[in-house]
Amino acid sequence: MYRAAIKSGVGGGTTKTLLHHAKNNPSRAAAPSLLSIRHRYQSTAAATTEADEPSSSYQPYKKPFNVEQWETLATKELSKSNKTVDTLRTQRITPEGIAIQPVYYDLNEEPAMPGVKPYDRGPYATMYSNRPWTIRQYAGFSTAEESNQFYRSNVAAGQQGLSVAFDLPTHRGYDSDHPRVVGDVGMAGGAVDL
């Protein structure tokens, strides 16, 4: 059975569900063609009513009061790094040239801002807009000493986070000298014995 839902209209217009049953040969169930789906979508979209149109009571943008609360908290958090909220707004630009804002919210609703109760968007006002996320290399091999040496050289080279790979005996809770894990020690990560 193939099921596809097509929704059209603004604000909850009509919904059509298309079902396709392959009665004779279920293993060769063919989906409806894209042309037939597009045709049905266009005919449904043309049948929208006035109730589906956006209302004329659109509220112009006004700055919600929680934004000021967020800016105050963000300024306090950023004072440790000698940055301001304005530098947060311009510091991150994608390779396509799009400026990344430090926080996004719906212009027509009272936003729940980061760092403001009930903390729906996180406990800190700046969350991770002050610094990029930590990129971790998943690594571990042979003995704990060799893995430790590898991690230390990566941290010295500028890596900011570690993700340790343990071998199968360690994951299963066995020590390296247990007879049940002979041949698995150090094969897919570092061996750690307690």
Q: How many folded domains does the chain comprise?
A: 3
In terms of pTM, does the model score above 0.85?
A: no
pLDDT of residue 156: 92
71 in the same domain as 119:
yes
**pLDDT tens track for 55-104:** 445 444 445 556 777 778 878 887 877 777 677 665 677 888 887 777 77
**Domain assignment of residue 108, yes or no:** yes
The answer to whether 54 touches 10, Cβ cutoff 8 Å, is yes
**pLDDT tens track for 1-16:** 334 444 434 444 433 3
79 in the same domain as 29:
no
119 in the same domain as 80:
yes
Q: What letter represents residue 1's amino acid?
A: M
Looking at 12, 29, 52, which one is the last position of a domain? 52
Distance CA 96, CA 52 (A): 35
Banded model confidence at residue 141, pLDDT cuts 50, 70, 90:
confident
**Domain assignment of residue 189, yes or no:** no
75 in the same domain as 127:
yes
> Which of 36-40, 92-96, 124-128, 182-186 is least confident?
36-40
The answer to whether 74 touches 88, Cβ cutoff 8 Å, is yes
**Domain assignment of residue 187, yes or no:** no
Cβ-based neighbour number of residue 38 at 10 Å = 11
83 in the same domain as 28:
no
Residue range(s) defining the domain that contains residue 29: 2-52
Q: How large is the average pLDDT for residues 142-155?
A: 84
128 in the same domain as 98:
yes
146 in the same domain as 112:
no
**Domain assignment of residue 144, yes or no:** yes
98 in the same domain as 148:
no
